Amino acid sequence: MPAEHCAGDEQEPSPGLPQGSFGPCADHGPGPEPTDRAWHHWLGRGVVRLWTLPNTLLGLVCLPLALATGGGAQWVRGVCEIYGGAVTWLLRRVVPLQGGARALTLGHVILGRDRRALALCREHEHVHVRQYERWGPLFIPLYLGWSVWLGLRGRSAYLDNPFEREAYDAVPELLAEDERWLA
């Protein structure tokens, strides 16, 4: 709200407002102008992208591999999704899960077996994107550390991992399906 409206509110408070209140402007403070807010937003997003960049680059290594082997890529909700070709093979054969993985997140890159798998797992994988944004280069060591510790204690290194639990909590219907997948 422009500053001159705040001044007007101070002189003539709206009926019903408690004493000492200056209306909506007082609640929110003058705040930055909309252009400043947009600038701060994009600056913040840039810092987050930079913090996540080492993991994103790891994911982007798969882009030429996928494109050269019949796969593809798409940009969805601020994330590069890479699917098919060599990526399908990697998810099936290299990810240490029974039957492999349908999708896997590396920073702002989501790898998927195909577009159907990406659509099915997108909400779950976006929780991992936010985890990468929070933990940056620490995410993979923390994730693997939890998995090793849980495995040593006889628990599931995957389903009991707190990062997975957070992601499955966001999309509970996927959990039942993945438990069947991993059985």
Contacts with Zn ion, residue ranges (CB under 5 A):
164, 167
What's the token pair of residue 102?
Answer: 């349908």
23 Cβ contact partners less than 8 Å away, ≥ 6 residues apart: 6, 9, 13, 14, 17
Q: For Zn ion, which is the closer residue by CB, 91 or 167?
A: 167
Answer for the pair 64, 82: CB distance below 8 angstroms, yes or no.
Answer: no
Shortest CB 18 distance to Zn ion, Å: 48
Shortest CB 12 distance to Zn ion, Å: 56
Q: For Zn ion, which is the closer residue by CB, 44 or 162?
A: 162
Q: For Zn ion, which is the closer residue by CB, 10 or 169?
A: 169
Shortest CB 84 distance to Zn ion, Å: 20
15 Cβ contact partners less than 8 Å away, ≥ 6 residues apart: none
Shortest CB 141 distance to Zn ion, Å: 17
DSSP class per residue in 38-75: HHHHHHHHHHHHHHHHHHHHHHHTHHHHHHHTT-EEEE
What is d(CA 162, CA 35) in angstroms, rounded to the nearest whole number? 38
Task: Name the residue whose CB lies closest to Zn ion.
Answer: 167
Q: For Zn ion, which is the closer residue by CB, 9 or 125?
A: 125
Residue closest to 109 by CA, chosen among 151, 160, 44, 65: 65
Residue closest to 148 by CA, chosen among 140, 63, 43: 140
Answer for the pair 163, 128: CB distance below 8 angstroms, yes or no.
Answer: yes
Q: For Zn ion, which is the closer residue by CB, 81 or 164?
A: 164
